[in-house]
């Protein structure tokens, strides 16, 4: 599907500070488009559509609900996990984990099918060597985490604030701290050198998502 012109005027990665999610596991009966509107209305710079365990058709419908809202606010839209669907739908960015990208034998974004003119690539990292490998793979940004234990990544050990400090001192491109970040832990993450964060449950589990997003975004400056 061609979405020419849809992403005109969206923020650059360097301008982005707060990366939020419309996560299928946290919908709790709410409409995905309404959650996207609340997140963007509160100042989220990036919104990822994440639908673990959903089929391709349901994920397609999720994108169709969330993407127009996010782009109307000038924020960046990211699709989680599914590169081929992202290419088909013409989204601007797809996020992949280490296993989905390097574990599948990829070494650079250019080796992905449909990469020419296709989505940008975001990559997860859990250690310095993975961060460096993501930078060399042509990623637009890198997520570093989970900083703290989080239910969104069960079984994944926390990388701790030491990894945040390493990324702050060594990163050559935009990166986001992710994992267990909420109003209580945010200051420690910022003090460790992060300037961009990904937040899931601390926004989606709040009764007023827009107000929670606005309050957290204000703390990022």
**Domain residue spans of the chain:** 13-220
- Per the DSSP assignment, residues forming a β-bridge with 121 are 94
Model pLDDT for residues 102-144, shown as the tens digit of each residue: 999 999 999 999 999 999 999 999 999 999 999 999 999 999 9
Structure confidence by residue, pLDDT tens digits, 20-51: 999 999 999 999 999 999 999 999 999 999 99
- pTM summary value: 0.95
Our CA angle for 160, 217, 199, nearest 5°, is: 40
| Positive or negative torsion for Cα 85, 64, 42, 21 | negative
Is 13-220 a CATH 3.10.20.590 domain? no
Cα 25–57–65 angle (5° rounding)? 65
Beta bridge partners of 124: 143
Q: HEC profile for 71-100?
A: HHCCCEEEEECCHHHHHHHCCCEEEECHHH
């Amino acid at each position: 599907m061609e979405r020419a012109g849809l992403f005109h005027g969206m923020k650059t990665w360097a301008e982005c500070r707060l990366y939020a999610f419309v996560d299928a596991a946290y919908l709790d009966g709410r409409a995905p488009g309404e959650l996207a509107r609340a997140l963007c209305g509160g100042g989220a710079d990036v919104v990822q559509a994440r639908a673990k365990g959903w089929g391709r058709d349901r994920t397609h419908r999720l994108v169709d609900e969330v993407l127009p809202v996010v782009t109307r606010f000038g924020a960046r839209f990211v699709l989680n996990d599914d590169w081929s669907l992202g290419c088909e739908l013409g989204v601007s960015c797809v996020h992949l984990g280490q296993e989905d990208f390097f574990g599948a034998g990829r070494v650079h974004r250019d080796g992905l099918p449909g990469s020419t003119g296709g989505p940008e690539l975001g990559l997860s990292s859990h250690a310095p060597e993975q961060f460096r490998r993501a930078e060399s793979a042509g990623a637009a940004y890198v997520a570093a985490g989970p900083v703290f234990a989080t239910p969104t990544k069960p079984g994944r050990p926390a990388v701790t604030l030491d990894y945040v400090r390493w990324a702050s001192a060594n990163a050559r491109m935009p990166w986001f701290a992710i994992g267990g970040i909420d109003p209580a832990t945010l200051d420690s993450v910022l003090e460790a050198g992060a300037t961009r964060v990904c937040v899931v449950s601390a926004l989606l589990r709040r009764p007023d998502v827009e107000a929670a997003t606005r309050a957290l975004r204000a703390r990022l400056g």
